C-alpha cells in the first residue's frame, strides 16, 4: 500500500500487477480493464504470467518475475488460475498467501439481482488465512498392515495471529461504517485451538466498545442461523477452516460463486480475485460473466483509497443488471462478456 500510494503521488498512477490467468481469465480481465479505463482508475498495469501460461513459459505456475512484480507493487489483480492435476505443483493460491503473508481473506456477499432465495443480503466475512488447520502439519500413523490406519493433523492458532485478524475485521467495520462484528469459533470443544482465537477476539473487541458492537457464535449454530436469518449478521470474523466453509455458504445466499469477489490482504501486499475458477468448459466462448472480477477490482479500488471509483463501479454494475437488464447467460441473460462490459462502460461514461 505504502509503495503504491507513494507511486501515485509521484506519477499519478498506481503501479499494480495484473495476472490475466487461465481459461476465461483473459476474457474477463479484458472486460474489467475496459471498465476500469472508462472509470479513469489510475492503475499502471504490470502484466505478468501465472498458471498454465507460467508453466508453458518456464515450468512454474508462479514465476519469479510475477512474485517480484507483486512484491514491488504491493497490489495485484489476479484472474483465475488452473491448478495442474498431478506433476507435484503446490496450489498457487496457497503459495501466494504464504509468500506475501496475506493473513486476511475478505469475502463480501451482497445481493446483486433480486428474486433469489434471500433478498437484501449484505455481509462481509473475514477469514484468517494463514493459521488453523491449514498449516497442514499432517501425517499418517500405520497400524498392522495399513500404512494409513490413522490420519493425523495439528492445527495452530496464535494469539498474535488471532488478534491481528480480529483487529483487521474491526478496522474494516469502522472503515465501512458497519455496526457489528461476530466472532465465530468452536471454543466449547476445541478449547485451545479456537479458545485462543476467542480470547484474543474478546480482548480486541474491548478497544472498539461503544463504536462497533461485538457478539459471538459457535460455528455450527452460526451456519444454521446464516440460513435461517442472515440479516442478523454484519461482519463475521473466524479462523481459517471455518472461514473457508462459511464464506462459500454466504456466497450461496446471494446466488453462488458467480458474483463473489475475494481479497487477500497482508501488511505489504494485497491480491484481489474472483472466487470462481478458470471455467474451462466455457473458455474462449465469450460468454463468461466478469462480475466477480469486476467486484474484486472494486475491492482493490477501495483498498487503494479510490472509494469514489469503487462506488461508481458498483452503481454501474447494479444499473446494468437491474435497470438495463443486460446479463450474461449464467444470470439468465443473453449478453456476451463484451456486451455486458460495454453496457457498464456506457453507464460509467454517461454518469449513470
Ligand atoms: P470453476 O469455478 O472454474 O467452474 C465451475 C462452474 O461455474 C463451471 O460450470 C463454470 O462454467 C461456471 N463458471 C465459473 N465462473 C464463471 C463465470 N465467470 N461466468 C460464467 N460461468 C462461470 O470451478 P472448477 O471447474 O472446479 O475449476 C476449474 C479450474 O479452476 C481448476 O483448475 C481449479 O483448480 C481452478 N480454480 C482456480 C481458482 C483461483 O484461481 N482462484 C479458484 C477455483 C478454482
pTM metric for this prediction: 0.93
Fold match between domain 1-100+268-352 and domain 114-239: yes
Nearest to 313 by CA among 285, 283, 293: 293
The predicted-structure confidence for 271-296, as pLDDT tens digits, reads as follows 999 999 999 999 999 999 999 999 99
User: What is the CATH code for 114-239?
Assistant: 3.40.718.10
Strand blocks (E) in the chain: 14-19, 43-47, 75-78, 104-110, 122-128, 132-143, 146-156, 180-185, 213-218, 235-238, 261-265, 270-274
Q: Report CA 188 to chain centroid distance, whole Å.
A: 29
Residue 238 near ligand 1, beta carbon < 6 Å: no
User: Which three cell numbers mark 317?
Assistant: 454494475
Asked whether residue 26 carries a pLDDT value surpassing 80, the answer given is yes
Residue 282 near ligand 1, beta carbon < 6 Å: yes
CA 58/CA 148 separation, integer angstroms: 36
Asked whether residue 118 carries a pLDDT value surpassing 90, the answer given is yes
Pocket test for ligand 1, best of 66, 129, 279, 293 (most atoms within 8 A of CB): 279
Atom of ligand 1 nearest to the CA of 274: 41
Domain locations along the chain: 1-100+268-352, 114-239
**Is residue 150 helix, strand or coil?**
strand
Any bridge partners for residue 45, and if so which? 16
Q: Which residues are catalytic?
A: 134, 186, 220, 244
CA 347/CA 192 separation, integer angstroms: 52
Range of weakest confidence among 79-88, 200-209, 302-311: 79-88
Percent of the chain with pLDDT over 90: 84
Atom of ligand 1 nearest to the CA of 80: 40
List all residues 6 or more positions away from 346 whose beta carbon is below 8 Å from its beta carbon: none
User: Which three cell numbers mark 276?
Assistant: 470462481
User: What is the CATH code for 1-100+268-352?
Assistant: 3.40.718.10
The predicted-structure confidence for 195-248, as pLDDT tens digits, reads as follows 999 999 999 999 999 999 999 999 999 999 999 999 999 999 999 999 999 999
**Is residue 191 helix, strand or coil?**
coil
CA 49/CA 63 separation, integer angstroms: 7
Give me the pLDDT at residue 57, please: 84
Amino acid at each position: 500500500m505504502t509503495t503504491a500510494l507513494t507511486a501515485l503521488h509521484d506519477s499519478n498512477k498506481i503501479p499494480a500487477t495484473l495476472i490475466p490467468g487461465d481459461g476465461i481469465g483473459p476474457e474477463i480481465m479484458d472486460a474489467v480493464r475496459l471498465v476500469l479505463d472508462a472509470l479513469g482508475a489510475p492503475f499502471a498495469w504490470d502484466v505478468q504470467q501465472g498458471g498454465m501460461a507460467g508453466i508453458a513459459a518456464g515450468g512454474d505456475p508462479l514465476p519469479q518475475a510475477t512474485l517480484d512484480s507483486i512484491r514491488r507493487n504491493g497490489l495485484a489483480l489476479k484472474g483465475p488460475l488452473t491448478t495442474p492435476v498431478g506433476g507435484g505443483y503446490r496450489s498457487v493460491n496457497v503459495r501466494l498467501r504464504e509468500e506475501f503473508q496475506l493473513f486476511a481473506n475478505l469475502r463480501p456477499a451482497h445481493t446483486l439481482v433480486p428474486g433469489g432465495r434471500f433478498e437484501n443480503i449484505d455481509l462481509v466475512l473475514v477469514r484468517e488465512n494463514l493459521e488453523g488447520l491449514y498449516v497442514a502439519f499432517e501425517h499418517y500413523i500405520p497400524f498392522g498392515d495399513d500404512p494409513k490406519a490413522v490420519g493425523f493433523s495439528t492445527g495452530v492458532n496464535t494469539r498474535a495471529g488471532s488478534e491481528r485478524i480480529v483487529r483487521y475485521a474491526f478496522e474494516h467495520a469502522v472503515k465501512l461504517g458497519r455496526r457489528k462484528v461476530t466472532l465465530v469459533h468452536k471454543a466449547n470443544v476445541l478449547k485451545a485451538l479456537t479458545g485462543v482465537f476467542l480470547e484474543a477476539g474478546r480482548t480486541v473487541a474491548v478497544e472498539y466498545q461503544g463504536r462497533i458492537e461485538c457478539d459471538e457464535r459457535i460455528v455450527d449454530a452460526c451456519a444454521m442461523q446464516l440460513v435461517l436469518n442472515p440479516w442478523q449478521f454484519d461482519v463475521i470474523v473466524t479462523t481459517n477452516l471455518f472461514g473457508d466453509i462459511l464464506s462459500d455458504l454466504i456466497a450461496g445466499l446471494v446466488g453462488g460463486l458467480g458474483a463473489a469477489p475475494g481479497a487477500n490482504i497482508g501488511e505489504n501486499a494485497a491480491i484481489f480475485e474472483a472466487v470462481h475458477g478458470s471455467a474451462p468448459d466455457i473458455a474462449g466462448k465469450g460468454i463468461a460473466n466478469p462480475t466477480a472480477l469486476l467486484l474484486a477490482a472494486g475491492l482493490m479500488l477501495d483498498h487503494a483509497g479510490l472509494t469514489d471509483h469503487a462506488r461508481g463501479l458498483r452503481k454501474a454494475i447494479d444499473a446494468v443488471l437491474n435497470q438495463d437488464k443486460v446479463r450474461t447467460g449464467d444470470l439468465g441473460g443473453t449478453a456476451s462478456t463484451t456486451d455486458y462490459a460495454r453496457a457498464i462502460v456506457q453507464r460509467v461514461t454517461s454518469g449513470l
